Chain A
Amino acid sequence: MLTKDQIAQRIAKEVKNGQYINLGIGIPTLVANYIPDKLEVVLQSENGLLGIGPFPTEDQIDPDLINAGKQTVTMAKGSSLFNSAESFSMIRGGHVHLTILGAMEVSENGDISNWKIPGKMVKGMGGAMDLVASADNIIVAMQHCSRSGESKLLPDCSLPITGIRCVKKIVTDLAVLEISPDGGFILKERAPGVSVEEIKSKTAGKLIIEGEIPEMIFE
């Protein structure tokens, strides 16, 4: 089983040179730590910053400079600042190449739920609905099962939906999976030491297994 950092490390392998990327809160934020130095990418923060830099040192902290998770950040070389309407023009206009976000549930046709648990959690969707409705390339980072052991990869989402038919790829603590255009989770890779049978038993939605499934490789 992968740790959260290993999930982030595996997702970082999907990043390509020259991409503008939006990273969600949680595991997706960790992806930034694993993007190889040789790749030139720009991280977008939907509250109005292109070019998120590393977290500040104590004496660099600026309360007027935060990311979408409200964490203090710095600006990378060549960054720019803008208002929220402009920020979502970039997102809806298709200018952001890759969106990585967390989820509570993903369905076998690529629907995602990550914003509300009726009667329990009312925090709001923030920018998630705009991001998932607009991005061509959406990767979900999440645990394969909930804390109570229920599969989070389902035939249909049971929680209120954030976006429909939008997820392309999922990286969990057990596996890398792609959403088939015809519906279903195509198993692409296993976490080291995790069997196909275990993934099968923990995937409630339709799982598509074609040929030998390789283990993930970490450099």
Chain B
Amino acid sequence: MINKTVKNAHEAVADIPSNCMLMMGGFGLTGIPENCISALLEKDITDLTIVSNNAGVDDFGIGLLLKKRMVKKMISSYVGENAEFERQLLSGELEVDLIPQGTLAERVRAGGAGIPAFFTPAGVGTEVAEGKECREFDGKMYLLESWLKADFSIVKAWKGDTAGNLIYKGTARNLNPIMATAGKICIAEVEELVEAGELDPNQIHTPGIYVQRIFQGENYEKRIEQRTVSK
């Protein structure tokens, strides 16, 4: 079995240069690659384009990369909850592509699956459709959307093995499995790394073929955005 293990987050992100395209898994702050974000923060790189459903909060997640002005462009579906993001966007310092969440997910999936484009109903008749081909199928209009691929995709899983097989937990799965497929290099950080053969093949969510580097992360904070309890 090919061993994909690297020592830690620093080694995993060492060759990520300025001006490249990154995908980062996570929905809100759930399932984000906390260790790799910390390691990126210590690097002297700028002008990143980041594909991520959200942009973190002011002092956690991708929000930290924004604050350090490392990001040129965000490709996201929902960026509320981040005042610094909104400031950079309204002042024109940051470029942003806001796209429907399902379109974002499918564009990433298509990128990993070798499908250059697809038609979707999301955004027909809205500003999302501007400049895009619109076509009718069975009496309904659809928009042509293209695949998304990245130089690096960085994902977070619950368990992984040295062969790069991954298992996610709860809704921390979100965009992680599809992003794993759409990066030229996929870096996976996991809470628990085991030897190949120790995970049940029936339970694998991301087969190791998609993953180039894997390491066991540490000190996961797993910050909660909306702590809601029943009365």
**Chain A interfacial positions (CB closer than 8 Å to B):** 45-49, 54-58, 61-67, 69-73, 81-85, 87-88, 91-92, 111, 119, 122-130, 133-134, 160-165
B residues 216-231 near A (Cβ < 8 Å) are: 222-230
A61 contacts B229, CB within 8 Å? yes
Chain A to chain B contacts (Cβ below 8 Å), 22 pairs: A47-B27, A48-B27, A55-B230, A64-B30, A64-B169, A66-B226, A72-B224, A81-B171, A81-B173, A83-B173, A83-B174, A84-B27, A84-B105, A91-B102, A122-B79, A122-B86, A122-B90, A124-B79, A130-B100, A130-B103, A130-B121, A161-B127
Given contacts A64-B171, A65-B170, A162-B126, A88 and B222 within 8 Å (CB-CB): no
Please pick, from B86, B102, B178, B225, the residue contacting A127 in the complex, using a CB distance under 8 A: B102
A88 contacts B78, CB within 8 Å? no
- Nearest B residue to A56 by beta-carbon distance? B229
Number of A-B contacts (CB under 8 A): 173
A123 contacts B171, CB within 8 Å? no
Which among A56, A67, A127 has the greatest number of chain B C-beta atoms within 10 A? Answer: A127
Residues of B within 8 Å of A, CB-based: how many? 58
A63 contacts B101, CB within 8 Å? no
Given contacts A48-B27, A63-B30, A84 and B89 within 8 Å (CB-CB): no
B126 contacts A160, CB within 8 Å? yes
- Nearest A residue to B89 by beta-carbon distance? A122
**Chain B interfacial positions (CB closer than 8 Å to A):** 27-31, 53, 76-81, 86, 89-90, 96, 98-106, 108-109, 120-128, 158, 168-178, 205, 222-230
Please pick, from A48, A64, A122, the residue contacting B222 in the complex, using a CB distance under 8 A: A64
Interface SS of A by simple majority: loop
A56 contacts B122, CB within 8 Å? no
Please pick, from A72, A119, A122, A164, the residue contacting B229 in the complex, using a CB distance under 8 A: A72
In order of increasing CB-CB distance, the 5 nearest A-B pairs are A88-B102, A130-B102, A164-B125, A123-B80, A64-B170
Docked complex Cα distance between A133 and B101 (Å): 12
Sample of 20 more A-B contacts, CB < 8 Å, known A81-B171, A83-B173? A46-B102, A48-B174, A63-B224, A66-B171, A70-B30, A70-B225, A81-B168, A83-B174, A85-B108, A85-B178, A87-B105, A91-B102, A122-B86, A124-B80, A125-B78, A127-B102, A129-B103, A133-B122, A163-B125, A163-B126
Given contacts A45-B171, A129-B126, A130-B122, A69 and B226 within 8 Å (CB-CB): yes
Taking the nearest CB of chain A, how far is it from the CB of B71, in angstroms? 15
- Nearest B residue to A62 by beta-carbon distance? B170
Docked complex Cα distance between A71 and B229 (Å): 9
Taking the nearest CB of chain A, how far is it from the CB of B25, in angstroms? 9
A54 neighbours in B (Cβ, 8 Å): 230
B229 contacts A64, CB within 8 Å? no
B28 contacts A70, CB within 8 Å? yes
A126 contacts B223, CB within 8 Å? no
Docked complex Cα distance between A207 and B230 (Å): 40
A55 neighbours in B (Cβ, 8 Å): 228-230
B78 neighbours in A (Cβ, 8 Å): 123-126
Which among B100, B105, B106 has the greatest number of chain A C-beta atoms within 10 A? Answer: B100
Taking the nearest CB of chain A, how far is it from the CB of B114, in angstroms? 14
A84 contacts B90, CB within 8 Å? no
B171 contacts A85, CB within 8 Å? no
Taking the nearest CB of chain A, how far is it from the CB of B38, in angstroms? 17
Please pick, from B27, B77, B96, B173, the residue contacting A125 in the complex, using a CB distance under 8 A: B77
Which among A48, A56, A134, A161 has the greatest number of chain B C-beta atoms within 10 A? Answer: A48
